Amino acid sequence: MNNTARKMGMFVMLLTSLIGLASCSGEAQVQQTSAPPLVQVYTVNGDDQTIVRHFVARVDALSTVDMAFQVAGRINFLVERQGVVIPEGELLASLDPQDYALALKQAQASYRKAASDFERGKQLQNDNYISKSDYDSLQTSFENAELAVENARLNIDYTELRAPFDALITNRVVEKFSYVQPNQAVLRVQNINFLRIHVNVPEQLMRYAVDKNPAYQVFLENERGELILNSDGEPVMLSYLENKTEINENTQTYQVTFKLPREDGLELLPGMVLTARIVIANPVGPAGLWVPITAIDSTGEADFAIWRIDNGKVYYQPVDVGLIRDGKAQVIEGLTPDTKVVAAGIGALQNGMDVREFTKESPVL
């Protein structure tokens, strides 16, 4: 009975061992035949340094001028509508010229008499009938009469205000038939041959504002975030005009002004607020390649590293990291263009491990 029990115990132990070995063998087989991990791949682009920024943009006229007469008088003509553009040279306002026309006739009459007296004086002076001082007095009277005629003609010209440029009428300060004094503002007009676009940019972007660095492009967006197009269907592009060098203490920004030529069909007026899209193609700073920040591994031996993909395997590669912005990291050493790196899923990687590149066509399992 004891021998039988002993044999039964040994048989149970042997069976248990065989079952355990079979189980371990199965797990190993499953581990060996499981698919490599699936990783998201990013191919490094040597030119991928583009930065896009959005800022509030305020539209302004190239200049704003208060138009005024240089002589006094009653207004007999004044542009009827505000908000319209009057072409350069066209009449904006005029005064009743009657008084100045009479003054011109009087000055011309005085000039004719002074000219006649002066001509007689020349002959008399040549014949020594008048003194040198009398002759000089006749000459002075003639010259003063000549100046009076010129001044009277100018006063008639001053009774008209004409557009000094393609002028947008923004405000009629006085009404028609009003009596105005010299230099009293009559109309406020704006020069919109070019529009000024003011943008406040932070200090670190001021280096791109100067005209010597054409590495950026500036576009305008509407309230829906769409690029504003010109009549040819092309995006409206701004060019650098000037910038202030005094910082705004409240916002720590600098005002940069861009210009935009006026185009038919482009409904942009001074005072409008839009969005400026600034695209910086080649940022100033050390050269480098940009990768998603999720591709940077800071948990290994090196301070920063990436996982390089080569022939379906991953390799740990230390790198030097520069700037970090917009969800990307600048690798300034340790990486070359066209390299494939793991962009997501770096947590469980091991050096030399087989991986699968994730694509829309790749199965998850």
Domains along the chain with CATH numbers: 52-61+194-280 (2.40.30.170), 62-187 (2.40.50.100), 286-357 (2.40.420.20)
Residue 184's CB: how many other CB atoms inside 10 A? 14
> Which 3 state secondary structure label does DSSP give 132?
helix
Contact 268/201 with Cβ under 8 angstroms? no
DSSP state of 142: H
DSSP state of 183: T
The torsion angle over the Cα atoms of residues 7, 9, 10 and 16, rounded to 10 degrees, is 140
Backbone angles phi, psi at 155, to 5 degrees: -60, -35
Structure tokens belonging to residue 318: 């230390």
Q: Which residue has the higher pLDDT, 11 or 98?
A: 98
Burial-class residue 159 by CB neighbours within 10 Å (0-12, 13-18, 19+). buried
DSSP state of 270: T
Contact 290/48 with Cβ under 8 angstroms? yes
**The pLDDT of residue 232:** 82
306's CB contacts (< 8 A; 6+ apart) are 291, 295, 296, 297, 317, 319, 331, 334, 335, 341, 342
- Chain centre to alpha carbon of residue 70: 39
DSSP class per residue in 198-231: EEEEEGGGGGGTSTT---EEEEEE-TTSPBPB-T
Most confident of 33-47, 272-286, 304-318: 304-318
Q: How confident is the model at residue 14 (pLDDT cuts 50, 70, 90)?
A: very low
Average pLDDT over residues 243-268: 85
Average pLDDT over residues 336-352: 88
Instruction: State the pairing for strand pair 85-86/160-162.
Output: unpaired
Q: What residue type is assigned to position 76 of the chain?
A: N
Distance CA 261, CA 231 (A): 13
Q: Which residue has the higher pLDDT, 97 or 192?
A: 97
Structure tokens belonging to residue 250: 């409240």
**The pLDDT of residue 203:** 75
Q: What residue type is assigned to position 277 of the chain?
A: R
Does position 34 have pLDDT exceeding 80, yes or no? no
Closest-CA residue to 217 (of 239, 190, 198): 239
Over residues 117-142, the pLDDT tens digits come to 999 998 888 878 888 899 899 999 99
Does position 15 have pLDDT exceeding 50, yes or no? no
Contact 346/295 with Cβ under 8 angstroms? yes
Distance CA 67, CA 92 (A): 9
pTM over cut 0.75? no
Q: How confident is the model at residue 357 (pLDDT cuts 50, 70, 90)?
A: confident
Contact 121/135 with Cβ under 8 angstroms? yes
6's CB contacts (< 8 A; 6+ apart) are none
CA distances 46 to 50, 68, 214, 280, Å, are 11, 60, 20, 15
